[in-house]
Chains A and B, each alone.
Chain A
């Protein structure tokens, strides 16, 4: 499949010349058929500085299944490079055997069967155990949270994010950055930020009226005799990808010149190590690493990639720590003379059946969930098939949502946004209200119903496609492709804007979508203020009442070329 495998191996393995990463340990564990907390935490302490990275938790307090993407295409300079390597290619690239715990944690292959063998992953009480163990080994380790933390669950929605704030505070982060946090509303974010015992960083967040910084850009730390600057970068396209009326007066953007200025400023202040705590997304970070001089480590986020080894861009090390609490990265660095002289890296998989939950944090999580226990655990339906969302194109969770929209809202066509969050369920699982909210909870859930012409539909799909497949990552807006229900289409990802989508057909009668004809379209999560309609979770709950046994076959309605 990959024509440039040798080149790829050079890209990631070059780091092994002067450091080491944890993938070797993993393989050995698999060979021994032994998976223990001790082995998962085993780490040969290195150097004088330890960074702990967790990101994109999306409100997941307790363990979940999360199937990694089958299709995750890179375009332009990123084509074929990690993280745009999936499945069997991923296993080959990182020398992982099929069927092993790491194959289950890092790829979609054989997911349902392996999920039954290896169990759920994540859970912040289990994460707490890992963080405490690392701090026992290196008491002044820095814990950095890449954001998308106060979002994505029933309890986040009911508590305006307070559940996550309470539990994360118990883990004692040293700094965080943000994205979905702002969908709680600017006032709520500021109310929380006032209470945080650590800085909420965003070098690229500005007051849009006066173009002045709205949040602190960085924080300097003294660790292991070194001065460490942690610069925060929030998701650049918040006011475009999410409803800007929720955070009026704030402007974001990539602001590469600002980032260079911040790096220069912290170096002037004596930083020995410059760390970028980023919610840019991996490809944006890769470009930023090439263009901004002087960043030592980028802790990437937003695109949910989990990579068992750092990716090197020149002298900059890019770390990808996954999502939903599935992984925690430990990165030990030997910082001398303002340089990284050596490192050791491990992407620690949080196997919740192997790592014991921390009792204190488990009790705190229980306290957040207790008032909602009955609502959370109510069974709404059962699934006969794997339900997952993540991937560039339609997944079964969104196909389910689109089916519900078409049936309940009497529409020809349904659209579900290309979100990356949303855990999975395996065949035979009950679908609880918690599971439904894990894939829908947000502050702008209205399910709209409107008339659109074929030409309008195509122009929306073209715009979203360019936001995903523009060859320059700085011009990508952030999400996966909008999921279409009731319609099939073809997409050539390597075409230019406006020319990627073709062969659009209405599924119910196979007729071509006509540019001038009007269609009834239902969707949800519009960024427009004043969108009318019932909340998406109410639409899907109503649909479950009529469809208590859910079967969603793999989607074959999107024909992808140009990969």
Chain B
């Protein structure tokens, strides 16, 4: 199947439910981030494969960065931007009617940071992926 982004967006909430989660934390507050991961995983150690996190290496616009998460067999995927004032940027939930366990949206990033995606699988296990997204000044391009 060759779905374009337009089609995926048109499918809308039937595919994935996105929830914006307010949970304040100071920039790169590691303890708060660890706590957020702990809360999501219940302390289980996530595998390092099984979830794919797609984002540009360098953001074209830090205010609206396209992010895509995909994990076969996931029921939920949490995306964390540790340097954002609200690090838990979104959680995608997949019900039995979901076509596949993937979701895409745009997020705002407060500076360069390592995005983290954690997927909760149907069997109760977890998988995690990281991706550095750089937010930089423009200009000076060869």
Binding site for B on A (CB under 8 A): 179, 208, 210-212, 235, 237-244, 251-254, 257, 281, 302-304, 417-421, 460, 463-464, 466-467, 470, 472, 474-475, 477-480, 482, 497, 525-528
Q: Which of B57, B137, B142 contacts A480 (CB 8 A)?
A: B142
When chains A and B are docked, how far (Å) is the Cα of A253 from the Cα of B66? 11
When chains A and B are docked, how far (Å) is the Cα of A170 from the Cα of B94? 57
When chains A and B are docked, how far (Å) is the Cα of A527 from the Cα of B61? 13
Chain B contacts for A304, CB-based, 8 A? 142
When chains A and B are docked, how far (Å) is the Cα of A417 from the Cα of B138? 11
Residue of B nearest to A281 (CB): B142
When chains A and B are docked, how far (Å) is the Cα of A418 from the Cα of B56? 23
Question: Are A420 and B112 touching (Cβ within 8 A)?
Answer: no
A-facing mask of B114-142, CB < 8 A → 1, else 0?
00000000000000000010101111111
Chain A contacts for B56, CB-based, 8 A? 253-254
Question: Are A242 and B141 touching (Cβ within 8 A)?
Answer: yes
Q: List 27 A-B contacts (CB under 8 A).
A: A179-B141, A210-B4, A211-B5, A211-B66, A212-B5, A212-B6, A235-B141, A241-B140, A244-B60, A253-B56, A253-B60, A254-B57, A257-B54, A302-B142, A304-B142, A417-B139, A466-B134, A467-B136, A477-B58, A477-B136, A478-B140, A478-B141, A479-B139, A479-B141, A480-B142, A482-B140, A525-B139
When chains A and B are docked, how far (Å) is the Cα of A526 from the Cα of B4? 35
Q: Which of A254, A419, A460, A497 contacts B142 (CB 8 A)?
A: A419
When chains A and B are docked, how far (Å) is the Cα of A520 from the Cα of B85? 33
Question: Are B141 and A212 touching (Cβ within 8 A)?
Answer: no
When chains A and B are docked, how far (Å) is the Cα of A20 from the Cα of B136? 43
Binding site for A on B (CB under 8 A): 4-6, 9, 54, 56-61, 66, 112, 132, 134, 136-142
Q: Which of A242, A420, A463, A482 contacts B136 (CB 8 A)?
A: A463
The A interface, classified by DSSP as helix, strand, loop or mixed, is loop
Chain A contacts for B58, CB-based, 8 A? 237, 240, 253, 475, 477
CB contacts between A and B, total, < 8 Å: 98
Question: Are A240 and B136 touching (Cβ within 8 A)?
Answer: yes
Chain B contacts for A527, CB-based, 8 A? 138-139
Least distance between B39 CB and chain A CB atoms (Å): 31
Say yes or no: A463-B137 contact (C-beta < 8 A), given A210-B6, A212-B6, A418-B142.
Answer: yes
Residue of B nearest to A255 (CB): B56
When chains A and B are docked, how far (Å) is the Cα of A179 from the Cα of B114? 28
When chains A and B are docked, how far (Å) is the Cα of A399 from the Cα of B130? 42
When chains A and B are docked, how far (Å) is the Cα of A38 from the Cα of B136? 50
When chains A and B are docked, how far (Å) is the Cα of A239 from the Cα of B135? 12
Chain A contacts for B112, CB-based, 8 A? 497
Q: Known A-B contacts: A479-B142, A480-B142. Give 5 more (CB < 8 A).
A: A210-B6, A212-B5, A212-B6, A281-B142, A475-B57
Chain A contacts for B57, CB-based, 8 A? 253-254, 472, 474-475
Chain A contacts for B61, CB-based, 8 A? 239, 244
Residue of A nearest to B59 (CB): A240
Residue of A nearest to B6 (CB): A210
Chain A contacts for B139, CB-based, 8 A? 241, 417, 464, 479, 482, 525-527
Chain A contacts for B4, CB-based, 8 A? 210-212
When chains A and B are docked, how far (Å) is the Cα of A208 from the Cα of B65? 11
